[in-house]
Amino acid sequence: MDFLNTISVGDCLDLIPQLPDNSIDLVITSPKYNVDLPGYDLGGDKMSHQDYIKWLREVFKAIYPKLKKGGRCAINVGDGENGRVHTHSDIIQFMSHSLRYLPYTTIVWEKHNTSNRTAWGSFKSPSNPSFPTAMEYILIFAKGSYELQSKGDTDLTKEEFVEWSLTPWEFPRTAYKESSRLINCGIHPAPFPPELPRRLIKMLTWVGATVLDPFIGSGTTAEQCKRLGRNYIGFDISEKYVDYTNKRLAHIITEEGLFHEENPDQQEEICASDSGI
């Protein structure tokens, strides 16, 4: 089956083995956080931490042979229980030690999402205060080599390279417009802002590269691939998310090789029809 530039329904552990070996240039994904976050289609955002890490290990073990030598894998993840559950550290351990990925870098990005916090712990007391983590990690690994093994064309500007090669990443408030819309429409409870995959795609791949997101969700990775002239492959176990993503991608039209913004009215129709409002 040819998965190139398609979004497929199914368990990624069943679909990843069907991909050709050494065919993927970059993986960008954000697995469920395992924090019992409500709103996911089909639910299932809570298992024991041990089972969660074991499951993620199986996913990225399956991905390893599908990456090209020099291919990169970027995993967006947050820690649980306000930083008490070190999910990002556990992922680094199994990726680097048991799965043979090369640790490339860790990017911290600011989320700016604590203005409406309701959990304070021991409010105004040192007894047991709460420390909400207003940031997440992008863990980046490589396969076999830190350097890309082929040459290509880049769309990365000097200004972008200088800014994006420094961390932490802080996105402008306007970058959250699309992810906020997806949350408010009830499409997806935890989409990352489009600026996140946009930066990763431009910093880590040549134009025309193939990008895999095994947890495609509402389709932000694929959307940015289409805008930036990369091939995409997306998997999700939720038929609802796959249907939404395909509608979203269909409204990015091309003209003379350029990508244009979706019609806002059409996007509102998609939002309404897929959220049941």
Q: What is the pLDDT of residues 54-78, one digit of tens each?
A: 999 999 999 999 999 999 999 999 8
Least confident of 198-212, 224-238, 241-255: 241-255
Q: What pTM was computed for the model?
A: 0.85
Biggest distance spanned by C-alpha atoms of the chain: 63
Q: How confident is the model over 198-205, as a mean pLDDT?
A: 98
Please check the confidence at residue 264 and state whether its pLDDT lies above 90: no
Q: 192 Cβ partners below 8 Å, 6+ apart?
A: 30, 76, 179, 220
- Residue 235 backbone class (left: φ over 0; alpha: ψ -120 to 50; beta: rest): beta
Q: Where are the alpha helices (DSSP H) in 188-263?
A: 195-204, 220-228, 239-250
Who wins on pLDDT, 75 or 35? 75
pLDDT digits (tens, 9 = 90+) for 111-152: 865 545 556 777 778 888 877 777 899 999 999 999 999 999
CATH class of this structure's domain 6-116+130-275: alpha beta
For the chain, give the percent of residues with pLDDT over 70: 78
Instruction: Report the 10 Å Cβ neighbour count for 21.
Output: 11
Whose tokens are 């863990």? That residue is 139
Q: What is the pLDDT, as a whole number, of residue 122?
A: 76
Q: pLDDT by residue (tens digit) across 153-166? A: 999 999 999 999 99
Average pLDDT (194-204) is 96
Q: Which of 80, 81, 105, 83 is nearest to 92 (CA)?
A: 105
pLDDT at position 102 over 50: yes
Can you give the pLDDT at residue 275?
45
Mean pLDDT (the chain, rounded): 85
Six token digits for residue 137: 């990690």
Which of the four pLDDT bands, split at 50, 70 and 90, describes residue 227? very high
Give the residue-averaged pLDDT of 191-209.
94
Residue 109 scores a pLDDT above 70: yes
Give the bridge partners for 121, in sequence order: 129
Q: Which has more confidence, 101 or 258?
A: 101
